[in-house]
Amino acid sequence: MAVEWEQVVVAAHDPAALGRWWCGVLGWVVVDDTPPVFEIQPKPDQFPGMMFLPVGDAKESKNRLHIDLRPDDQAAEVERITAMGASLVDVGQGDVSWVVLADPEGNEFCVLQPRS
């Protein structure tokens, strides 16, 4: 039996706004914006993607699952993403080589150093 990773589902107060934000960060395309769903993918029919669904309650603690991004230039990417509305966060990571950010709804993700 084969299995394929289809997407990550993100609970959001405003699925369309958060989905558009991630679409801009990743340079992906919108493949479904029929409320209540907002779905993005790298290209149409290219997986995995991200689907944003509405949730009423607030995020209360550190994510149990998060996304790691690996750019060509860590400092430039952190600057670009924070200019788009991400914030630097401390989740107790200490002195590490990656940068922890949060999207506009507080979901943590990491920006790693480039591969050598």
What percent of the chain has pLDDT above 90? 86
**Does the structure show a pLDDT above 80 at 1?**
no
**Does the structure show a pLDDT above 90 at 80?**
yes
- Tell me the sheet residues that pair with 69: 111
- Beta strands 38-41 and 29-32, pairing class: antiparallel
- The topology (CATH level 3) of 8-56 is 3.30.720
- The domains of the chain are located at 8-56, 65-116
What predicted TM-score, i.e. pTM, was given to this entire model? 0.90
Beta strands in the chain, from DSSP E residues, in sequence order? 7-12, 29-32, 38-41, 49-54, 67-69, 87-88, 99-102, 108-111
Nearest to 35 by CA among 21, 52, 22, 48: 52
- What is the per-residue pLDDT across 34-46, written as a single tens digit (0 to 9) for each? 999 999 999 999 9
Q: CATH top-level class for 65-116?
A: alpha beta
Average predicted confidence (pLDDT) for the chain: 94
In this prediction, residue 60 carries a pLDDT of: 79
